[in-house]
Amino acid sequence: MSSSDRTRVLVVDDSALFRELVGDIIDATGEFTVVGQARTGFEAIRLVHQLDPDVVTLDLEMPELGGLDTLGYIMSEAPRPVVILSAHGGAGAPQTLRALEYGAVDFVLKPAAHADDATAGMRIRLLEALRAAREAKVANLPLRIPGPAGAPTPVVRPAAVRAGAHPVAVVIAASTGGPRALVDVVPRLPRGLNAAILVVQHMPPNFTGFFADRLAEVSALPVSEARAGEPVGPDRVYVAPGGFHMVVARSRDGLAIDLRKDPALHGVRPAADRTFMSVASHFGPRSIGVVLTGMGRDGAAGLRMIREVGGWTAAQDEASSVIYGMPRMAAPYADRVLSLDAIAPAIVDRLADSAAAGR
- Residues 6 or more apart whose CB falls under 8 angstroms from that of 214 comprise 94, 97, 146, 183
- Residues 6 or more apart whose CB falls under 8 angstroms from that of 179 comprise 97, 100, 101, 201, 203, 211
Ranges of H-type helices in the chain: 16-27, 41-51, 67-77, 93-102, 116-135, 178-185, 208-218, 272-283, 300-308, 326-330, 340-357
- Of 105, 97, 106, the closest CA to residue 138 belongs to 105
Active site annotation includes 3? no
DSSP 243: T
Q: Rounded to an integer, what distance in angstroms lies between the CA atom of residue 260 and that of residue 240?
A: 11
SS3 label, residue 312: strand
Residue 147: Cβ within 10 Å count: 10
Active site annotation includes 298? yes
Residue 355: Cβ within 10 Å count: 20
Q: H-helix or E-strand containing 55?
A: strand 55-59
The active-site residue, picked from 86, 88, 106, 175, is 175
Q: Rounded to an integer, what distance in angstroms lies between the CA atom of residue 192 and that of residue 243?
A: 31
The active-site residue, picked from 202, 219, 258, 317, is 202
Q: Would you please indicate which residues are annotated as catalytic (active-site) residues? A: 175, 202, 298
